[in-house]
Structure 1
Amino acid sequence: MEGDLFSLVNLKDMEIIDANTGTKLGFIKDLKINCDEHRIMSIILPSQTSKMSLFSKNEDIEVPWKDIKKIGVDVILIDGGKLSDKV
């Protein structure tokens, strides 16, 4: 059981990769946590678009925890099928 545990710092240092396309999506920017159930609901990735201005909102990418397929030693594989319009 100890081998399946990861610290938040370790998770944030792992690169996120779409298992369907092999696309590198970056690193975890933030996590959404359900405090009542004590579990991670989703991971937040920085926007992949380079459009950023003083008055525009940067659209981060939210990946539900159920879409995470595998957490390896240094990468996290996700099912990014629903992300194609955001990336």
Structure 2
Amino acid sequence: MISSSDLREKEIINLIDGRRLGFVADIEVNLEKGRIDALIVPGPGKFLGLFGKDNDYIIAWNEIKKIGIDVILVELKNTIVTNDEEEKKN
């Protein structure tokens, strides 16, 4: 079993292009089903997840390929989702 604090300590690596995406800043949880739906990583240009662009990496649970000791390997084809696009989905 892995805790949310454990997830925050692991670096996210995209297997598609080998890019380091950063560290988990937030977790999207489905309370009805009791599961994690997505990991959210601050996008490029953000400092401490606060300052910078409004683009984040939103990594759906099915895009996670392996959770290792130090890193989380993901397969992201569309790497950046803007917060505006995410709000339109909801």
**Separation in structure 1 between the aligned mates of residue 3 and residue 38 of structure 2, nearest angstrom:** 15
TM-score (norm 2): 0.77
Percent identity over the alignment is 36
Question: Counterpart of 2:6 in structure 1: which amino acid?
Answer: N
- CA offset at residue 49 of structure 1? 3.5
* Structure 1 ranges of 4+ moved more than 2 A: 49-52
Tell me which residue corresponds to 1:40: 36
What 5-or-longer segments of structure 1 have no aligned partner? none
TM-score (norm 1): 0.79
1:20 correspondence with 2:11? no
Question: Counterpart of 2:55 in structure 1: which amino acid?
Answer: E
Tell me which residue corresponds to 1:8: 4
RMSD: 1.9
**Separation in structure 1 between the aligned mates of residue 16 and residue 65 of structure 2, nearest angstrom:** 11
**Separation in structure 2 between the aligned mates of residue 66 and residue 21 of structure 1, nearest angstrom:** 18
What 5-or-longer segments of structure 2 have no aligned partner? 82-90
More strand by share: 2
- CA offset at residue 36 of structure 1? 0.7
